[in-house]
Chain A
Amino acid sequence: MIAQELHDLLKTTFGEAILEAKIDGVLDPFVTVAPGRIAEIARFLRDDDRTLFDSLMCLSGVDLTKGNLAVVYHLHSTKRNHKFVLKAVVPAADPHVQSVASVWKMADWNEREAYDMYGIIFDGHPDLRRILMPDDWEGFPLRKDYQVPEFYNGMKVPY
């Protein structure tokens, strides 16, 4: 299936949950969806016979600046051999996205990483803890407005 067909399929199935699409003029066509409905969209894309996206290639957090964060899902179907990109944009002040860890296990650790680096809360994630940074780290390092702390656990960090 090509990107335009996938977009039309999602648009007819989910209607208002599909917020924006960019199909032409970009290297990887993508569709922006409502962060509160990403799980059902993901489940549909995985199970529907026309799409069969059985593999989540990559899940990334991105700081879009201007007060917004995004989660980007790169999907791939090993059976149909097509690719697609989903995006969910959330405000940085209250970043809540549905977890897709129950759809693809691969999302489990990657959502933890996105939480660790951007502070995006994945609702419904089984075990949302920091993964790369220490458990007691404060702040979310990959946000663009992150300030490197002067002290860690009372110790001065030399730079």
Chain B
Amino acid sequence: MEVTLTDVEPGRRPATIPGLGRPLRAEEMVISMGPQHPSTHGVLRLELVVDGEIVVDVIPHIGYLHRCFEKHCEHMTNYQQVIPYADRMDYVAAMSNEFGYVIAMEKMLKIQVPERVEYIRVIMAEFSRIISHLIAIGTYGLDIGAFTPFLYCMRDREHVLDIIEETCGARLLYNYMWIGGLSHDVKPSFQKQVREFCTYFRPKIKELNDLLSYNKIFIERTANVGVLPGDVAINYGASGPVLRGSGVNWDLRKNDPYSIYDRFTFEIPVGKGLKGKVGDCWDRYMVRVHEMEQSTNIIEQAVDQLPEGDVQSAIPKRIRPEAGEVYVRTETPKGDLGYYIVSDGTASPFRIKVRPPCFINLSALPAMCRGAMIADVVAVLGSIDIVLGEVDR
């Protein structure tokens, strides 16, 4: 049994700290950051082992928001009921969570969905990438000390939320993508609204760059901070902007295409180390900014090609997959979201395991923070862009 900090009387040092694996040295101190710290993006607790201002090690403690997602799934009476729960994992980009799940289930049930559904899903998934990155960028500025970009990001985000709200009636948690189709077709004015948004949004990205990305203070806080080399990032299983920020050209939409992503032309932005080393916080940040541009391109192409059709024609009346298992991963704003679904032939899931990108990206946090200053931990954590709803599930 290890001795924890709370077990020893005040003023005396514990033998070891769980997770550190060695006794504390005389010059080291343990600082608890969170779970209510404003920069931990939710309820995350970090135990910082510090030597003066230098961070020697970071021990993340998670699970404060654990809601037994996987256990609940096993108790659902059918597969469709999982979707509202999947929404609540990454709640700032709920569409992408649904997308992965419905693709996995359609692969299992061997359903071919109508073209129109595919296009609307791609548009919604890219919208969710934009709104997720806007939150990531806005709150990142907030963490570093820039308040204004947050308001600008929230303003732009509102336009997307309005479009989604008109489509499915909800602003945050949609239950929109169903197995085999969609809950609602889009409104007749949808294409016009989307085009208007794209025209509106492009100049706003430039505005954001002028305001935050190339701001001298911002660059000094983020460049050369929290460097994660590419091979280390792959070994940690990092994905999404964290992996691409490390200079690895890897995006499932290109490298392992799902849905209809192979029909669109877009680029994969990667970190190039323009302001510092490859894989620093600025690179990770900048990948998100460029991804928003690319998402806008995809949305424009998709909305131009949007075919007519019935969005509910392929929805199965009764969902009862054969016994078997499937693993499907999709590229969400945070990284690879994988669903491992095991069916035993009954109407309720036998096992649903989620591979949450935030959880795995967060496990690389100690590697990025060692040797940094305490204030840099805030910068590094913000650049990973975690959502605790997904980390803890």
User: Which A positions have Cβ atoms within 8 angstroms of B?
Assistant: 26-28, 54-58, 60-63, 72, 74, 78, 81, 85, 104-106, 108-110, 117, 126-127, 129-135, 141-142
Contact = CB atoms under 8 A, between A and B. Distances in A.
B63 A132 contact: yes
Interface string B223-253: 0000000001011110000000000101000
Task: Name the prevailing secondary structure of the B interface residues.
Answer: mixed
B340 interface: yes
Given A106-B363, A126-B21, A142-B70, 19 more contacts: A27-B324, A55-B235, A55-B237, A56-B237, A57-B327, A57-B329, A57-B338, A58-B329, A58-B338, A58-B353, A58-B355, A81-B255, A104-B235, A105-B236, A105-B363, A109-B360, A127-B21, A129-B18, A132-B393
B52 interface: no
B326 interface: yes
How would you classify the secondary structure of chain A's contact residues: helix, strand, loop or mixed? loop
A30 B340 CA distance: 13
Q: Which of B107, B327, B338, B363: most chain A CB closer than 10 A?
A: B327
A63 to B, nearest CB: 7
Given A28-B325, A132-B392, A142-B70, A63 B351 contact: yes
A140 to B, nearest CB: 11
Interface of B: 18-19, 21, 62-63, 66, 68, 70-71, 74, 107-108, 232, 234-237, 248, 250, 255-256, 324-327, 329, 336, 338, 340, 342, 351, 353, 355, 359-360, 363-364, 367, 392-393
B355 A57 contact: yes
Given A57-B329, A57-B336, A132-B66, A26 B250 contact: no
B62 A132 contact: yes
Given A57-B237, A78-B234, A129 B66 contact: no
